[in-house]
Structure 1
């Protein structure tokens, strides 16, 4: 390549590097932390860590389900995940009786509940910060993924302009020639060591961009289950789940499920997902769908049944998140991610020192700030937007609205709406939204004691009864007495359960 083209590439490389260095440093650092995000979040949760081997993890899906329902009978379970990591106990995603999302952690040998955690923690917040700057907006995710093109250009142009780069893998930077020379040498060295990770990050991020644009492959579709009136059959218990798992194993020889998705709608089936003999897992898992009423097999599929763009997603996820080799690959990705963060910062230092030579007496961060020119105001606006979004999402009045449904009536009759989750020693404002026609008044009792203040409002065919609940430590059962104009009464029961926190 002639010198003119190389110089043009170098100028564009340095200009982009200066103005996007802080962005890439932020993305590399947050991505690195995300590799072990849940482990960092769970440092103080001693109950969920385990040294049990795979052979010792004998608790079945049914045993886990039965144990959780015994401890939290009001909960609604929708995903059971065995061995989410070799060092964690089994994890189950569920909703509490008052509608809040929760994770139940169970002993991998006995199935007993050992801990409960809220899903919104350090890892989830960090993931949203990394993906969408906390906005959870698809367009922001697409813009972030689109920067993979710039990252790939920076990688390729840097290697082109660094002549005979393959000789520099062990060329340690020296300080004898001054700070700028040291920063340049460090930048080149870190670029060489981080290059494999940067290349894979660019490729996988571009893949995610194409997915967000609607590019998709084909997935096999199971047969529909027999019609039923409720999402979960009344006889769904530990025994039925274990029977369904046995059917799934028979339907797909060599199948070892580690995930089960329980029905959330009347048209859903029980879906088992897991490892399959003869398939590495880099291109997906086997899956079997079971009718929750008849236990008939509705579909049994291998990774080879997935076609097109979707076929590559498991591999892209493993490469991007560093899970392709277990603990070894996670540790490697963390080390390379920290090196990549240093790469972005040293690149900014080089150009900042060049265009702001009078600032050599200042700290490195101040040199970067002074050298960035107009781009720094864009970063300030971005930071202000992140802080505003953080306050909006996680501020004092940012609780998600939760819903509780009756245990003996369909949601169309009545349901509970709460603007805050159930907490110990905290009064909770509740709305009973009534869909039953011709209701003229309502009375509320909790655990057999009548609530004195009930505000009843009528809005056409619908009505709302508002009241306050001071949670009990043991249980919170609510009975709504819906009184009609003809003197009749309809009773609806809700079971919130005991507060967890």
Structure 2
């Protein structure tokens, strides 16, 4: 891991302890920038829907005094306001002050996000499909695809994250007593070192949560790409272990939206429907929540024949095996959505801590190399840093192309991406490039060859 020189320092640590420390240091230096990019984008992804709410006036509504409308009211509101649009998906607002969301295809073929005030049932506006939420989710999930291997590239870093989180427990003496061991009286290097250690201890639980769920995503992607190509238990798509039979609806007239929703509610009165799709590979599809805890909405889903209203398949979280139940639990745990805004803020702050740890750990060890091991450097650092910059450039290029591909509003020349999304994306890229260039500057070989 280290490029050696004739100088061979004498370590005061036992060989086994020193080996764990070396592993921790090597992982931190070599993967530091890429881990930062992943954690940094994930931090924004956690609160991306809230960022959209802050920067998109159409999403902000007054909290109604009456019970929130169901998806039928939301669908009908858009159908009245945009009779030429094809409504694809309908989503009820998940909390007060948020507009309902409808995915609709315009006559020109462009997908738009249409927002509906749940109290007045008026359409408040629309945006392109590239929102802040979509931007950060696609970036954090798979680097905008990255030539088909983006999810592997992201998820594989769950392993070095777990190594970085667990190895200090093997070499940091009496770590359980060090949660408040912040040193401010020994100069800046000691301060930053102690801050790194204290922050790491307080963030240990979060690093384990993200590392474990990230490793699970790696397992899912491995199964999808290398084993049997399956991603769901039952669905109308081929990615499911049990694919529903294809419907032949060409000669049949579909029932109205409200009658299909009513049929779903009659079949499962305990299902709180939060979303519906008029065409999921031919089926009418609904999803929502039951009394099951800590699962995403599509753990509870129903497929109906749109011509007859007959329920073809209904699944609840209680029906699932531990494997598939965990599959639907990973997302709420990974992104902190299970507890509403409170857990989202906690996940965001913890994500900032992990982002900082990814950088400070590598920087601190570089300082140790300069002070104690002149002329020595970690192998692979230049390649890793260059890869991080290259991936960021790739994501920037894809984001710009996606903004223009999303299409402008009718009669406009500029993409329909909101100003808020554009500004937030620009800030993210500028800060990431700044950190990346600083990282490369710190890793340049001549800085590691200076003598004290």
Calculate the TM-score normalised by the size of structure 1: 0.70
Given that 1:138 and 1:212 are in contact with CA atoms closer than 8 Å, whether structure 2 keeps it comes out as no
Q: Following the alignment from structure 1 to structure 2, what is the Cα–Cα distance between the partners of residues 264 and 107?
A: 26
Task: Give a deviation string over 1:293-331, Cα, whole Å, max 9, x none.
Answer: 222222232213333533212211011111111111111
1:206 maps to 2:202: no
1:199 positional shift: 0.2
The equivalent of 1:332 in structure 2 is 346
Give 1 or 2 for the bigger CA radius of gyration: 1
Alignment-derived partner of residue 72 in structure 1: 82
Q: Once the 2 structures are TM-superposed, how far is the Cα of residue 373 of structure 1 from its aligned partner?
A: 7.1
Q: Is the 8 A contact 1:204 1:320 kept in 2?
A: yes
User: Once the 2 structures are TM-superposed, how far is the Cα of residue 12 of structure 1 from its aligned partner?
Assistant: 1.4
| CA-atom RMSD in angstroms | 2.9
Residue aligning to 2:295:
282
Question: Structure 1's 274 and 299: CA in aligned 2 closer, same or farther, altered over 3 A?
Answer: same
What corresponds to 1:227 in structure 2? Answer: 248
User: For 1:283 and 1:91, how far apart are their aligned partners in 2?
Assistant: 17
- Aligned-partner Cα distance in 1 for 2:272–2:213: 28
Deviation at 1:399, TM superposition (A): 4.0
Q: SS state of the match for residue 287, structure 1? A: strand
SS of alignment partner, residue 93 of structure 1: strand
| Aligned: 1:400 with 2:411 | no
**Is 1:254 aligned with 2:260?**
no
Return the match for 2:106 from 96, 103, 119. Answer: 96
Distance 1:36 1:253, change over 3 A: same
Among candidates 346, 354, 359, match of residue 360 of structure 2: 346
Q: 1:393 to 1:47 in 2, by over 3 A?
A: closer
SS of 1:50 mapped into structure 2 = coil
1:218 to 233, 250, 257: 233
CA contact (8 A) 1:217 1:311 kept: no
2:390 is the alignment partner of 1:379: no
Encode CA deviations 1:45-95: one digit per residue, 9 max, x unaligned.
Answer: 233123426x73432322222221222122111110101444411101121
Q: How many angstroms apart in 2 are the aligned matches of 1:203 and 1:210?
A: 11
Contact 2:53 2:98 in 1 (8 A): no
Gaps of 5+ in 2: 1-12, 225-230, 236-241, 415-452
Where do 1:86-165 residues align within 5 Å?
86-165=96-175
Deviation by residue 1:23-57 (Cα, 9 ceiling, x = unmatched): 2222222211111112223323233123426x734
Say whether the 8 Å CA contact 2:46–2:336 is kept in structure 1. yes
Does the Cα contact within 8 Å between 1:31 and 1:130 map onto a contact in 2?
A: yes
Q: Is the 8 A contact 1:93 1:102 kept in 2?
A: yes
The match for 1:300 is 314
* 1:134–1:295 Cα change, 3 Å: closer
Deviations 1:416-470 (A, max 9, x none): xxxx66631659xxxxxxxxxxxxxxxxxxxxxxxxxxxxxxxxxxxxxxxxxxx
1:346 CA drift (Å):
2.0
> Hey, what's the Cα distance between the residues in 2 that align with 1:212 and 1:14?
28
1:46 aligned onto 2:57? yes
Partner in structure 1 of residue 194 of structure 2: 185
1:393 to partner: Cα distance: 5.0
Per the alignment, in what secondary structure is the counterpart of residue 218 of structure 1? strand
Q: How many residue pairs align between the two structures? A: 386
Secondary structure class of the residue paired with 1:133: helix
Which among 40, 57, 70 is matched to residue 60 of structure 1? Answer: 70
The answer as to whether partners of 2:257 and 2:278 remain within 8 angstroms in 1 is: no
Q: Once the 2 structures are TM-superposed, how far is the Cα of residue 191 of structure 1 from its aligned partner?
A: 0.5
Note closer, same or farther for the CA distance 1:50–1:128 as it changes in structure 2 (3 Å cut). Answer: same
Task: With a CA cutoff of 8 Å and minimum separation of 6, indicate the structure with the bigger relative contact order.
Answer: 2
CA distance in 2, matches of 1:398, 1:323: 27
Shift of 1:203: 0.3
Higher helix share: 2
SS at 2:405's partner residue? Answer: coil
Please say if residues 94 and 103 of structure 1, whose CA atoms lie closer than 8 Å, have aligned partners that are also in contact: yes
TM-score (norm 2): 0.77
Decide whether the 8 Å contact of 1:252 with 1:288 is kept in 2: no
SS in 2 for 1:229: coil
Confirm or deny: 8 A CA contact 1:283 1:313 kept in the other structure: no
Q: 1:398 to 1:71 in 2, by over 3 A?
A: closer
Residue from 26, 47, 53 that aligns with 1:36: 47
